[in-house]
């Protein structure tokens, strides 16, 4: 398992084990993720928490995750940052149902689940907006623009088109790990 400068809560991996088993069992019936083995799920968890090493995690008190799916990255970021409150947006009912099951099973007090598209809800102030594999960067910014303040950090998990997607945007930092690009933006122009 990977180590990061940010110290994960001591029960992070034990709690993740419970979620891994729950996800693999649920996935057999409902097919909500392509990760079909424990090893594949662990890779997705490591991908989810990797950016914690270059975020100002102590400044994050509230966050939203757009298109959480089977919990990547939002659910695992919430486990890693128990001091922060996460709202997970997942409009697909069977995926949202899994997130509700995970929240209930683990009694997660810092997680809310919304079975809505992010652009359909009344916005609120957040310190962090994360999203993985939803749409291109400019469209993501447009979808969540009403949540963005000058202090909001955007963390988008991107593929190899990240350079093309960020052309014309300012305040972009890109961190790479294997074939994953972690795009971090702050003070984003949402006009």
CB proximity list for 166: less than 8 A, separation 6 or greater: 137, 172, 174, 183
The pTM score is: 0.94
| pLDDT tens series, the chain, 191 aa | 444 467 999 999 999 999 999 999 999 999 999 999 999 999 999 999 999 999 999 999 999 999 999 999 999 999 999 999 999 999 999 999 999 999 999 999 999 999 999 999 999 999 999 999 888 999 999 999 999 999 999 999 999 999 999 999 989 999 999 999 999 999 887 66
CA–CA distance, 91 with 72 (Å, rounded to integer):
14
CA–CA distance, 69 with 171 (Å, rounded to integer):
28
In a domain, 191, yes or no: no
> Shortest CA distance to 55 belongs to which of 142, 184, 190, 188?
184
CATH number at residue 139: 3.40.50.150
pLDDT confidence of residue 127: 97
pLDDT confidence of residue 2: 45
In a domain, 85, yes or no: yes
Neighbour-count burial of 42, counting CB atoms closer than 10 A to its CB (0-12 exposed, 13-18 middle, 19+ buried): middle
Structure tokens at 114: 């919304």
Q: Do 69 and 131 touch, CB atoms closer than 8 A?
A: no
CA–CA distance, 172 with 89 (Å, rounded to integer):
24
In a domain, 18, yes or no: yes
pLDDT confidence of residue 16: 97
In a domain, 3, yes or no: no
Domain boundaries, position 59: 12-186
In a domain, 88, yes or no: yes
In a domain, 19, yes or no: yes
In a domain, 6, yes or no: no
In a domain, 124, yes or no: yes
CB proximity list for 24: less than 8 A, separation 6 or greater: 36, 37, 38, 41
154-175 burial, b at 16+ Cβ within 10 Å, e below that, comes to bbbbbeeebeebbeeeeebeee
pLDDT confidence of residue 6: 79
Structure tokens at 151: 């202090």
Q: What's the number of domains the chain is made of?
A: 1
């Amino acid at each position: 398992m990977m180590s990061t400068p940010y110290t994960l809560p001591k029960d992070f991996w034990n709690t993740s084990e419970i979620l891994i088993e729950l996800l693999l069992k649920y996935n057999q019936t409902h097919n909500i993720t392509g990760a079909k083995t424990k090893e594949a799920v662990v890779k997705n968890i490591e991908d989810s928490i990797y950016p914690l090493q270059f975020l100002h995690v102590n400044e994050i008190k509230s966050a939203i995750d757009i298109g959480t799916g089977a919990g990547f990255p939002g659910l695992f970021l919430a486990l890693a940052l128990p001091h922060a409150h996460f709202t997970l947006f997942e409009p697909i009912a069977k995926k949202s149902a899994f997130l509700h099951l995970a929240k209930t099973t683990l009694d997660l007090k810092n997680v809310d689940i919304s079975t809505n598209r992010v652009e359909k809800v009344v916005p609120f102030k957040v310190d962090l907006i994360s999203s993985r594999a939803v749409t291109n960067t400019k469209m993501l910014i447009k979808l969540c623009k009403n949540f963005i303040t000058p202090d909001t950090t955007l963390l988008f998990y991107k593929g190899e088109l990240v350079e093309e997607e960020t052309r014309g945007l300012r305040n972009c930092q890109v961190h790479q790990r294997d074939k994953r690009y972690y795009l971090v933006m702050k003070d984003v122009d949402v006009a």
